[in-house]
Amino acid sequence: MPPTKTRKKTRKKRRTEPRFTTASLAVMAELKAAMMSPEETEHFTHFAAMLGEKYSLRNRFLIWIQRPTATHVAAKSTWSDDYGRRISGGKGCGIAIVAPLTRKADKEEGGPKGKDEPQKKDEREIWGVKVTYVYDIADTSPADDQAQPAALPAVQPAPRPEASEVTDMLTTILEDKHSERTAAEE
């Protein structure tokens, strides 16, 4: 009997398209901003204060749009490394936010031969944004190898955003989108 060929099973990594792009997040924020009632604005201000100041007001708005019941959010690596928890919600449980893309800033030389002013070292500049995901504690469970996961730090509530601050942010979202459309039409 001739020898049979055995096929080596290789595990292929499946590439999945991102659920959100920065453009789709902008559209989602624009639509919600345009349709918000005063009651929703009030609910958002409470939510933004409860979530703390770890995230920008715009990212807290994106979190609220996608998961208004979120109580404690963090990146996947933070949940596993700092709190001994793993993401258990399955694919699609992440909350999309935007994060800055940074690079080393060009070194600035001061005066002749750089002696008058100190050189700026290790400064970073923002050159774009990317979509990243955070997860609510409801989407996590203790890691199998830890009997007792680390305690979560208490979230320091932020001061409740003023209505004018929220209105300014919502207006900015709408104006940014309007100016993009106007530029595209020209």
Q: Give the pTM.
A: 0.71
Per-residue pLDDT of the chain (186 residues; tens, 9 = 90+): 566 665 555 554 544 445 888 889 988 988 898 898 989 999 999 999 888 888 999 999 999 999 999 999 999 999 988 888 888 876 678 999 999 898 887 755 444 444 555 545 568 888 888 999 999 998 988 887 655 656 666 666 677 777 777 777 777 776 765 455 444 444
**Neighbour-count burial for 53-91, b at 16+ CB within 10 Å, e otherwise:** eebebbbbbbbbbbbeebebbbbbeebeeebbbbbeeee
CA–CA dist 93, 136 (Å, integer): 9
Q: What are the beta bridge partners of residue 48? A: none
Token output for 37: 């009632």
Spans of all domains in the chain: 22-145+160-185
